[in-house]
Amino acid sequence: MSRIGKKPIEIPGGVTVEQAGAEISVKGPKGLLSMSLVEHVDLAIKDNLITVSPKDQSKVARSMWGMQRTLVSNLIEGVTNGFQKKLEIKGVGYRAQLKGKILNLQLGFSHEIDFPIPEGITIECPDQTTVIISGIDKQQVGQVAAKIREYRKPEPYKGKGIKYSGEYIFRKEGKKK
């Protein structure tokens, strides 16, 4: 029995959920998101509650149960509150700034990196060493944050690079004489 899968999802006010076969679409104050469910789970909408249940007791159906419930929950969370990732840049001369729909990064290379901001994502730079990525699709927000972090991952000796806010960087000791 899936602990996550058996929890019902509450539909907040101002959010409409529509199901057409295996396709589910959620519309809220921040926008519209949709996804298609796998064939191994059933979805029922009743009295402002969504319940996800497996079609049978096969291993595949039980393993998809909790994941599909979480994905539907993320759709509802995204159209009501949205998602946000915060990146911190550490290093001498490392900085980020917005130039229209392009994030300009200076990360110690001989060239600047221009990252085009994808549709559906908003990026803010409150200062030169902080980048805030926000949007309604959790997967897309995480993917954009991972792509930006990929340009200069934090290194273990001085901790220079781009890291998630709150991420712990395991530090190593330098070589000894």
Question: Which pLDDT tens digit goes with each residue over 13-29?
Answer: 899 999 998 899 999 99
State the pLDDT confidence band at 104, using cuts at 50, 70 and 90.
very high
For residues 102-123, average pLDDT: 95
pLDDT per position as a tens digit, 129-139: 999 999 999 99
pLDDT per position as a tens digit, 76-101: 999 999 999 999 999 999 999 999 99
pLDDT per position as a tens digit, 142-157: 999 999 999 999 999 9
Write down the pTM of the prediction. Answer: 0.89
Cβ density class 7-34: b for 16+ within 10 Å, e for less: eebebeeebebeeeeeebbbbbeeeebe
pLDDT of residue 174: 87
Tell me the domain boundaries of the chain.
9-80, 83-164
Average pLDDT in the chain: 93
CA–CA dist 95, 130 (Å, integer): 8
At the topology level of CATH, where does 9-80 sit? Outer Surface Protein A; domain 3 (3.90.930)
Model confidence at 110: pLDDT above 90: yes
State the pLDDT confidence band at 177, using cuts at 50, 70 and 90.
confident
Same fold, 9-80 and 83-164: yes
Running DSSP on this structure, what letter comes out for residue 128? T
User: CATH for 83-164?
Assistant: 3.90.930.12
